[in-house]
């Protein structure tokens, strides 16, 4: 960064808003007032000042989430993408874009450079390094030579509970005054609400995705577009109270653990409990003071794992995955890669005295053979072979065709016509 500032500007991207202010503070400590921040939660006045600071040259470094890539610098020469494998670097809504691809093209236009940083790179980046499209600057592995014990525990099909094995470990670690982490990749109380009367799932009116129920706010929320609905325990469609909560989220995991382990001090870190840097600092302070026995976390904590471990007054000795199947079995050819990256990061927190436990209804999944040894290169090589055989990226391109219109019937007819043609 210091070298780049002699002749240009720098953009540093981080995956989560909660990281922006901390990184900005470190940059300002090093470079002074030329470093600014950008993300969607900034007050409008601060956005205005940051935007015009970049335009005028007053600011030379911007740290932010993916939208910071478009700051109006006159001479952007360096783009750094931290934790490049994180899922947040693809914008799922309009405008649709892939941050790494966009940054690469942007750098070409400005004769600049892109640096990708990650504890574990994506499979695409790994392949590009192997075929010499990217240059490997450093290969520092954060994991130690000693591995934790890695154990899979069977769930019966459809079971949403905490197994006796995981419950016993959480109790044992608490009695030893050690910290446990339970990872659940879904937030809310339940991931779906079903009406037994009209046999409909409560869906978002805007995007059609099943709504998640949040007990503390008595709301149904769309985790895609953030639309919210007041929920009074009655169907939104037929008003019947004969409803069923389906699936499980971090809020429900918390309530379950409080019943099973009433003496334990439990903290939950997800997008519902961490909405600001103050919320984050409160949880970190509790961990630092040793007040937390069990931390329940979603994807929001992944960029903070090593900070949590270093701050904790207690030894982090147990990591439990509430249901690994929610990570693996998704309609996405990258599902196994994404799951492996999450599990690799979590397992890397433990030393050889720790225990990494995964609850699953399918212990036969091929990924576990690589995961138990944390052999990411062998797993990546195997995934690349599978993708080449199946015609998936990076060997072939996938195209998503979206048909839009004002009348649903006509849109469906046109989509079917296009499908038949293809």
The full set of domain ranges for the chain reads: 4-118, 149-185+249-377, 190-247
Judge whether 355 and 148 are in contact, CB under 8 Å.
yes
CATH hierarchy code of domain 4-118: 3.40.50.300
- Nearest Cα neighbor of 279 from 292, 266, 270, 289 is 270
pLDDT in tens, 174-194: 999 999 999 998 888 888 888
- Tokens representing 410 are 């006509």
pLDDT at 29: 94
Judge whether 55 and 72 are in contact, CB under 8 Å.
yes
pLDDT in tens, 379-411: 999 999 999 999 999 999 888 888 999 998 999
* Predicted structure pTM score: 0.85
Residues 300, 303, 307: CA angle, nearest 5 degrees: 115
Measured CA to CA, the distance from residue 107 to residue 422 in angstroms comes to 36
Q: What is the DSSP string of 110-171?
A: TT-EEEEE-SS--HHHHHHHHTTSS--------S-SS--EEEEEE--TT--SPPHHHHHHHH
Measured CA to CA, the distance from residue 381 to residue 388 in angstroms comes to 11
- Nearest Cα neighbor of 217 from 182, 265, 251 is 251
Neighbours of 173 (CB within 10 A): 23
* Residue % of the chain over a pLDDT of 90: 56
Measured CA to CA, the distance from residue 181 to residue 214 in angstroms comes to 22
pLDDT at 37: 96
CATH hierarchy code of domain 149-185+249-377: 3.40.50.300
Query: Could you identify the residue written with the tokens 């471990």?
Result: 309
For residue 60, pLDDT beyond 50: yes
For residue 138, pLDDT beyond 90: no
For residue 127, pLDDT beyond 90: yes
Name the maximum alpha-carbon separation found in the chain: 68
pLDDT in tens, 331-388: 889 999 999 999 999 998 898 899 999 999 888 888 888 888 888 999 999 999 999 9
The reply to whether domains 4-118 and 149-185+249-377 share a CATH topology is yes
User: Rounded to a whole number, what is the distance in angstroms from the first to the last CA of the chain?
Assistant: 48
pLDDT band at 143 (very low <50, low <70, confident <90, very high): very low
């Amino acid at each position: 960064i210091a070298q780049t500032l002699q002749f240009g500007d720098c953009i540093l991207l981080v995956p989560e808003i909660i990281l922006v202010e901390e990184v900005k503070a470190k940059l300002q400590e090093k470079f002074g007032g030329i470093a600014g921040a950008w993300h969607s939660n900034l007050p409008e006045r601060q956005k205005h000042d940051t935007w015009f600071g970049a335009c005028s040259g007053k600011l030379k470094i911007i740290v932010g989430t993916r939208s910071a890539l478009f700051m109006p610098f006159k001479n952007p020469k360096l783009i750094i993408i931290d934790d490049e494998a994180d899922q947040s670097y693809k914008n799922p809504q309009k405008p649709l874009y892939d941050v790494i691809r966009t940054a690469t093209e942007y750098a070409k236009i400005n004769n600049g450079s892109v640096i990708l940083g990650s504890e574990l790179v994506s499979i695409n980046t790994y392949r590009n390094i192997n075929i010499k499209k990217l240059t490997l600057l450093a290969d520092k592995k954060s994991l130690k030579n000693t591995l934790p014990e890695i154990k899979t525990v069977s769930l019966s099909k459809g079971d949403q509970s905490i197994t006796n094995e995981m419950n016993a470990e959480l109790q044992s670690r608490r009695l030893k005054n050690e910290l446990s982490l339970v990872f659940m990749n879904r937030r809310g109380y339940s991931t779906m609400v079903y009406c037994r009367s009209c046999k409909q799932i409560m869906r978002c009116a805007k995007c059609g995705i099943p709504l998640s129920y949040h007990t503390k706010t008595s709301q149904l929320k769309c985790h895609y577009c953030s639309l919210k609905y007041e929920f009074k325990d009655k169907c939104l469609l037929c008003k019947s109270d004969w409803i069923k909560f389906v699936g499980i989220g971090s809020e429900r995991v918390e309530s379950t653990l409080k019943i099973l382990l009433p003496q334990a001090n439990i903290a939950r870190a997800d997008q519902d409990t961490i909405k600001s840097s103050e919320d984050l600092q409160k949880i970190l302070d509790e961990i630092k003071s040793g007040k937390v026995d069990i931390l329940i976390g979603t994807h929001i904590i992944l960029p903070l794992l090593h900070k949590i471990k270093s701050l904790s007054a207690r030894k982090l000795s147990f990591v439990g995955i509430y249901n690994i199947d929610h990570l693996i079995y998704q309609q996405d050819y990258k599902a196994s890669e994404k799951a492996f990256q999450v599990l690799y990061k979590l397992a890397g927190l433990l030393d050889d005295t720790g225990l990494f436990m995964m609850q699953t209804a399918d212990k036969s999944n091929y990924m576990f053979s690589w995961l138990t040894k944390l052999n990411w290169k062998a797993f990546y090589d195997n995934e690349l072979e599978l993708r080449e055989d199946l015609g998936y990226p990076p060997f072939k391109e996938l195209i998503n065709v979206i048909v839009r219109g004002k009348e649903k019937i006509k849109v469906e007819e046109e989509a079917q016509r296009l499908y038949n043609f293809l």
